[in-house]
């Protein structure tokens, strides 16, 4: 989002398209600075060498080239993003000198990676080195239709406009706060009179089921289209989540939040400009950025007590939304 804000400020009259995996279109469709979302079906193209898929990729290449982009920025720096950047044929293609998987070959304007450890600051440094002043505006916008759909669903389910959203899932087991502690937190919140929503993707039902308290919380795992999932976060009184998409979305939506970190370094991949919203075990920041791939790292998550998360949540609730 800060990259988008920076491009809009630098080029106020430009048409800006965002190329994104089709699963995540809803994350960017509502932003007023985006002219068009260009989605690619990552899952469908997994077997890119198959004849039918190759023909789809070829047509996609034609779509990108037909747009006649003046500038393309690859802030991901992987083979896939590099290929798409090259497909455009844009006169100016900005990337990193050390981009992975040979994707640096697709860029004709390369800059050394700097600005760490925060991943967003690294991306903004790429823009700055390309002559585009950084604008540190992380705000995310949810489509009006998704917000209305969520209001309708809430009304049908009898959910009021005050609720706490818990997102207890993560793709990596090392990033998951123990299920028993999620249950304990949810039970405490219900006892305090809070309406508690449990959120997750359809593939995460088992994770959420393990975290459900005995009574009182509302299980919405897999029940919401992605746009409504963002809308549910946008309307939450507060959000509590592991290091996952939910914590970053909540930060971009300005919500009170608690990010639970142990296997990853919040200085590098924490919610942008929300360091105070993170709860992590003291003195155990991972030095290896890929340490989360080791399942044994869950031991660090086990060092975080329920009391610490509840105390941080109380502070966030008192402070209220950021915008």
Q: How confident is the model at residue 309 (pLDDT cuts 50, 70, 90)?
A: very high
Give SS3 for 109.
Answer: strand
Residue 149: phi, psi to the nearest 5?
-60, -40
Task: Name the one residue in this structure whose structure tokens are 């991943």.
Answer: 119
219 with 105, same domain? Answer: no
Look at residue 284 and tell me whether its pLDDT is greater than 70.
no
157 within 8 A of 224, measured Cβ to Cβ: no
77 with 149, same domain? Answer: no
Residues 77-87, mean pLDDT to the nearest whole number = 95
148 with 30, same domain? Answer: no
Query: For the domain that residue 163 is a member of, what is the CATH number?
Result: 3.40.50.2000
Burial of 117 (0-12, 13-18, 19+ CB in 10 A): middle
201 with 105, same domain? Answer: no
Token representation of residue 311: 């105390």
Look at residue 297 in the predicted model and tell me its pLDDT.
86
> How does 183-199 read in b/e, with b if 16+ C-beta sit within 10 Å?
bbbbbbbbeeebbbbbb
Non-local (6+) Cβ contacts of 100 within 8 A are: 77, 78, 79
Distance separating alpha carbons of residues 140 and 138, to the nearest angstrom: 6
Q: How far apart are the first and last CA of the chain?
A: 15
Look at residue 285 in the predicted model and tell me its pLDDT.
66
Provide, rounded to the nearest whole percent, the portion of the chain with pLDDT above 90.
Answer: 88
Q: Which residue has the higher pLDDT, 51 or 163?
A: 163
pTM (whole model) above 0.95: no
Token representation of residue 226: 């992605």
Token representation of residue 168: 């207890």
183 with 305, same domain? Answer: yes
Residue 278: phi, psi to the nearest 5?
-100, 140
271 with 314, same domain? Answer: yes
Look at residue 240 and tell me whether its pLDDT is greater than 80.
yes
Can you count the helices (H) and strands (E) in the chain? 12, 11
Q: How confident is the model at residue 143 (pLDDT cuts 50, 70, 90)?
A: very high
Look at residue 50 in the predicted model and tell me its pLDDT.
81
Domain enclosing residue 266, as ranges: 144-319
99 within 8 A of 107, measured Cβ to Cβ: yes
Residues 21-26, mean pLDDT to the nearest whole number = 92
Residues 12-40, mean pLDDT to the nearest whole number = 95
Look at residue 69 and tell me whether its pLDDT is greater than 70.
yes
Residues 291-298, mean pLDDT to the nearest whole number = 87
Q: Cα-atom radius of gyration of the chain, to the nearest Å?
A: 21
Look at residue 292 in the predicted model and tell me its pLDDT.
87
Structure-derived torsion over alpha carbons of residues 248, 254, 256, 258, reported in degrees to the nearest 10? 10
Q: How confident is the model at residue 67 (pLDDT cuts 50, 70, 90)?
A: very high
Closest CA to 6 of 144, 138, 148, 114: 138
Non-local (6+) Cβ contacts of 197 within 8 A are: 159, 163, 164, 165, 166, 217, 218, 220, 232, 236
204 with 67, same domain? Answer: no
Token representation of residue 225: 């289209």
- 134 located within any domain: no
151 with 250, same domain? Answer: yes
Q: How many domains does the chain have?
A: 2
pLDDT digits (tens, 9 = 90+) for 105-120: 999 999 999 988 899 9
Among 74, 96, 129, the domain boundary falls at 129
Among 129, 159, 186, the domain boundary falls at 129
Burial of 55 (0-12, 13-18, 19+ CB in 10 A): exposed
Least confident residue range of 145-149, 285-289, 316-320: 285-289
Distance separating alpha carbons of residues 143 and 19, to the nearest angstrom: 18
167 with 298, same domain? Answer: yes
175 with 117, same domain? Answer: no
Mean pLDDT of the chain: 94
- 137 located within any domain: no
């Amino acid at each position: 989002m800060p990259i988008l804000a920076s491009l809009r400020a630098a080029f106020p009259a430009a048409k800006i398209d965002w190329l994104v995996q089709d699963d995540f279109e809803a994350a960017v469709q509502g932003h007023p600075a985006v002219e068009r979302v260009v989605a690619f079906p990552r899952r469908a193209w997994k077997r890119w060498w198959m004849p039918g898929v190759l023909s789809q990729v070829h047509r996609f290449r034609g779509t990108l080239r037909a747009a006649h982009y003046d500038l393309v920025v690859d802030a991901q720096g992987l083979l896939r993003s590099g290929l798409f950047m090259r497909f455009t044929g844009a006169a100016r293609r900005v990337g990193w000198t050390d981009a992975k998987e040979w994707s640096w070959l697709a860029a004709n304007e390369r800059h050394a990676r700097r600005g760490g450890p925060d991943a967003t600051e690294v991306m903004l440094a790429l823009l700055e080195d390309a002559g585009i002043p950084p604008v540190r505006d992380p705000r995310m916008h949810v489509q009006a239709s998704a917000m209305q759909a969520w209001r309708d669903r809430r009304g049908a389910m009898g959910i009021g406009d005050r609720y706490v959203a818990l997102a207890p899932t993560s793709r990596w087991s090392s990033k998951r706060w123990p299920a028993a502690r999620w249950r304990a937190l949810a039970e405490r919140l219900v006892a305090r009179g809070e309406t508690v929503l449990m959120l997750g993707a359809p593939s995460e039902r088992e994770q959420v089921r393990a975290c459900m308290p005995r009574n009182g919380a509302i299980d919405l795992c897999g029940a919401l289209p992605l746009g409504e999932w963002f809308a549910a976060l946008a309307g939450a009184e507060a959000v509590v989540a592991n290091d996952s998409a939910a914590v970053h979305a909540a930060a971009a939506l300005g919500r009170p939040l608690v990010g639970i970190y142990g296997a990853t370094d919040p200085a590098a991949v924490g919610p942008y400009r929300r360091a105070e919203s993170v709860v992590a075990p003291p003195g155990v920041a991972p030095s290896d950025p890929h340490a989360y791939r080791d399942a044994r790292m869950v031991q660090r998550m086990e060092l975080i007590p329920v009391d610490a998360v509840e105390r941080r949540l109380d502070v966030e609730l008192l402070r209220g939304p950021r915008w």
